[in-house]
Amino acid sequence: MSGGKLADIRLVAFDIDGVFTDGRFYLSDEGVETKAFHTQDGFGVRQLLNAGIDVAVISGRKSNAVEKRMAELGVAHILQGCENKVAALDSIIAELGITPAECAYVGDDIPDLPLLAHVGVSVAVANAVPELHDQCDMSTSAAGGFGAVREVCDLVLAAQDRHD
């Protein structure tokens, strides 16, 4: 995809499981959940925030690990346990005073389809289900959990000529 639509993006929103992570989570016998996050993805998120581009995470699941990691990165918009991801995004964009066309969303599975259809730029990670690749504006080269987030961050920054 050319930088055209990416140049207008003011908010990049991401799913968590399968996008920031490889889709797996670890659950101990005590019920403690852990996830693995790629450090380069974190750097990309910080670069977006430093460039004045808002970042959000919208997930159907709830996880303390997500809350902690996103707080470390400075992500202010952390919506977990969302049954309706479109409504979740709409609450963020209303707060920010922007439109869905100024948003990008990155997903990996069928529950992401309504939100992907709602935004200006829809992105499927490399290992997303085939239906997402068919419906999205673009697909990453990297898989979720292995640099896909960073790839999207870099593309947005380059399209807006804000890359360091």
Three-state SS at 46: helix
Spatial distance between the Cα atoms of 45 and 133, rounded to a whole number of angstroms: 23
**DSSP summary character for residue 23:** S
* pLDDT score of 63: 87
Q: Which pLDDT score is estimated for 2?
A: 44
Domains of the chain, each with CATH number or no CATH: 3-24+32-159 (3.40.50.1000)
Sign of the Cα pseudo-torsion (71, 85, 20, 46, in order): negative
Quick: pLDDT tens for 37-86: 999 999 999 999 999 999 999 999 888 889 999 999 999 999 999 999 99
12 and 96 Cβ atoms separated by less than 8 Å: no
Phi, psi at 33, each rounded to 5°: -95, 135
Name the percent of the chain lying above pLDDT 90.
Answer: 82
**What mean pLDDT is reported for the chain?**
93
Phi-psi label, residue 102: left if phi above 0, alpha if psi -120 to 50, beta otherwise: alpha
Confidence of residue 17 (pLDDT cuts 50, 70, 90): very high
How far lies 126's CA from each of 18, 28, 30, 37, 102, in Å? Answer: 10, 29, 33, 17, 23
Confidence at residue 1, expressed as pLDDT on a 0 to 100 scale:
42
Q: Is the pLDDT of residue 163 over 70?
A: no
Distance CA 140, CA 151 (A): 7
Do residues 38 and 161 make contact, with C-beta atoms less than 8 angstroms apart? no
Q: What is the pLDDT of residues 112-127, one digit of tens each?
A: 999 999 999 999 999 9
Is the confidence at residue 108, as pLDDT, over 50? yes
Average pLDDT, integer, range 84-98? 96
